[in-house]
Structure 1
Amino acid sequence: MRLWVAKQSEVSPREQLVTQFVFAIASQELKPGEKLPSTRELARRLGLHPNTISAVFQELARRGWVEQRHGSGVYVRSLSGSSPGQTAANLDQLFLAFLEQAWRSGHSLAAIRSRLADWLATEPPDHLLVLEPDEELRRILVHEIQQVVRCPVRGMSFDAGQSPDAYRRAVPVALYTWANVLTEQLPPGTACLWLRTRAVWREVPLDMLRAPDCLVTVASSWPDFLRLARAMCAAAGGDLLACHFQDARAPDWQTRLAGSDLVITDTLTARQAQVPVNLRTLTILADETLEELRLHTERFLAPEAR
């Protein structure tokens, strides 16, 4: 994994590194179980004090991204849940494994058949339900998914999802980062598909960020998009004085894009940006996740929903 740190930036090296690690883990550039460089090695590589690297690892551990194993090092944490479409066994093997596990749990064959019949008689799902507590991010995720699937896509906060009725005929989906939280909150028997994000900042032309005579504007209605953009631009060595961060919820925000050499936005804001050239749109969700959702809806959602 490549890391950048701009030491003379208003954004602290600690925040720059935490942001880069979060993106790398969420996009699976760093995979679950992968060992991170040691504190001493990373400090030497980046020319930082070991205490700074220790603070980065502690913050990542506090947020649940990594785990520190005594005497061994720091590892990317393995979160619960799996991506849609993952399977390692054929259908017969899955059935046999299911029956054996159900029997070992004390369920009779008659009870298993009865419950399976009830499950198959349930109305098939007819829409995707995006679970996300951040309203602005939820709107972006709904928009990105709706571009690739032919069924309705709705969004809901965690609080609104406390009622089992909220999930009627829905396939819940949520960012993989919420796996540990939502597996405890979802109603019993409710499965969730986990969404992977992409390493979006690989798509940004770093030479333009570093050019002193280049005005770059980052526009979004999602505050965290602007905050993360500031951290990543700083880490890439960009001149933050030449970068403008525009909240797309402000009145007449489009007029403030004039004169920009490059405009970076999320996919939802891009629809309203109205700039003729040099618009770089960053998609939050990974291409693989979007394709898996498309295939899942085609295979398992009710025909009328498609």
Structure 2
Amino acid sequence: MVDFQIKADSDIPASNQLFNQIRFAIASGQFPPGHRLPSTRQLAMQTGLHRNTISKVYRQLEDTGLVEAQAGSGIYVKTQGHKWVSKLKSPIFDKYPNASNIVKRSLDELLSQGCSLNEAREMFLIQIDWRLRCSARVLVTAPSYDLGIGQLMAQELEQALNISVQLVPLEELGEIIDQVSCGTVVTSRYFIGRAEEIAAPKSVRVIPVDIYDYGKEFQLLHTLPKGSYCGLVSLSSGLLRAAEVIIHSLRGNDVIVMTAQDTETHKINAMVRSARIIVCDKFSFDIVKAILQKNRENIIRPPQIICIENYIVTDSINLLKRELGLA
């Protein structure tokens, strides 16, 4: 069971703390699709929160499309993203209405066993052809208020997959999809509900990626002395906000969190002079390192810089390789 921690004396409402922690557990794969969330009674015992507060958080999670309530059973992480949209146009699928689902399930099983798309082509020609055509156009989407997280995913995928990736604001996704005959939309589970809602009527598939859980970094955070400064640098403003709330939930006011996007050099300048550790994504690392080097003569104790090499976990990268025919 994930260890949720709530700071009762915080300025951040307890429900907001719990909501962010559960949403992170889902997005990072700690609560995978189909996972049953703890009961309100279990969470009340663990966090000390009233069950009504926990019920409110679960309703918020339902509203965002991350979980669904099953009558008499509990709250479960939705399995969206695994039911990809498949609108194939062929007489054979008109003749056998259930054939598309049968072929899809069989192909997924072959891929999981290491079969390549070319090896399966003769058996599933129409489905394979559709997937390959989707693979020719890969779109990464994120809300316009946090395109930084989209940039993080897009740059990482381009490096890992060695393909061209187009970043599209979530608000413009429908318009872009209308301009292509097929494609693959990639996003994090934070935004999967809205992405699938937009893509559902289209001939595209939506694939969610799981994100790094930052387990080692959270362990290091627990070792920081009281009053320490912790710096966070990223392309994504949303990632910084979520991390700040979660860190506050873990350490309260014992650790002072400083955040900056990669373009906010004045904040990073102050950070390298004060922070004990600085955690950054790999696309911000060179900037942080250069600013630290520039200020080194004026720093008594340089901060430890921790570079997060991957925002997207390896399993998700490998899944995309298989689905895009790159494995």
For Structure 1 versus Structure 2, the TM-score category normalised by the shorter chain is: 0.7 to 0.9
- Give the counterpart of 1:145 among 147, 152, 157: 157
1: CA distance between counterparts of 2:28 and 2:190?
10
Structure 2 counterpart of 1:92:
none
Unaligned ranges ≥5, structure 1:
84-97, 108-114, 301-306
Structure 1 counterpart of 2:97:
105
- Give the counterpart of 2:269 among 255, 258, 261: 255
Post-superposition Cα deviations, 1:232-290, rounded to whole Å, max 9, x if no partner, equal 11111243662222344435333122231101223332232124652223443122112
User: Residue 199 of structure 1 aligns to which amino acid in structure 2?
Assistant: D
1:198-213 aligned at under 5 Å gives the runs 198-204=212-218, 205-209=220-224, 211-213=225-227
CA apart distance, 1:180: 3.9
**Cα–Cα, structure 1 residues 175 and 166, in superposed 2: closer, same or farther, change >3 Å?**
farther
Post-superposition Cα deviations, 1:117-157, rounded to whole Å, max 9, x if no partner, equal 9x68x978545321222321111111221221212222112
2: CA distance between counterparts of 1:124 and 1:231?
37
Q: Is the contact between residue 38 and residue 73 of structure 1 (CA under 8 Å) also seen in structure 2?
A: yes
Q: Is the contact between residue 175 and residue 196 of structure 1 (CA under 8 Å) also seen in structure 2?
A: yes
1: CA distance between counterparts of 2:240 and 2:254?
12
Q: Is the contact between residue 126 and residue 151 of structure 1 (CA under 8 Å) also seen in structure 2?
A: no
Structure 2 counterpart of 1:182:
195
SS in 2 for 1:34: coil
Q: Which runs of 4+ in 1 moved over 6 A?
A: none
SS in 2 for 1:68: strand
Aligned length: 276
Q: Is the contact between residue 233 and residue 240 of structure 1 (CA under 8 Å) also seen in structure 2?
A: no
User: Residue 267 of structure 1 aligns to which amino acid in structure 2?
Assistant: K
1: CA distance between counterparts of 2:22 and 2:305?
26
Q: Give the TM-score normalised by the residue count of structure 2.
A: 0.71
Q: Return 47-56 or 124-133, whichever deviates more.
A: 124-133
Structure 2 counterpart of 1:280:
306
Q: Return 12-21 or 198-207, whichever deviates more.
A: 198-207
Structure 2 counterpart of 1:304:
none
2: CA distance between counterparts of 1:254 and 1:236?
23
**Cα–Cα, structure 1 residues 181 and 74, in superposed 2: closer, same or farther, change >3 Å?**
same
**Cα–Cα, structure 1 residues 289 and 45, in superposed 2: closer, same or farther, change >3 Å?**
same
1: CA distance between counterparts of 2:263 and 2:326?
38
- Give the counterpart of 1:265 among 264, 280, 284: 280
**Cα–Cα, structure 1 residues 155 and 278, in superposed 2: closer, same or farther, change >3 Å?**
same
SS in 2 for 1:4: coil
CA apart distance, 1:25: 1.2
2: CA distance between counterparts of 1:71 and 1:298?
42
User: Residue 78 of structure 1 aligns to which amino acid in structure 2?
Assistant: T
1: CA distance between counterparts of 2:188 and 2:182?
20
Q: Give the TM-score normalised by the residue count of structure 1.
A: 0.75
- Find out whether 1:60 has 2:61 as its counterpart: yes
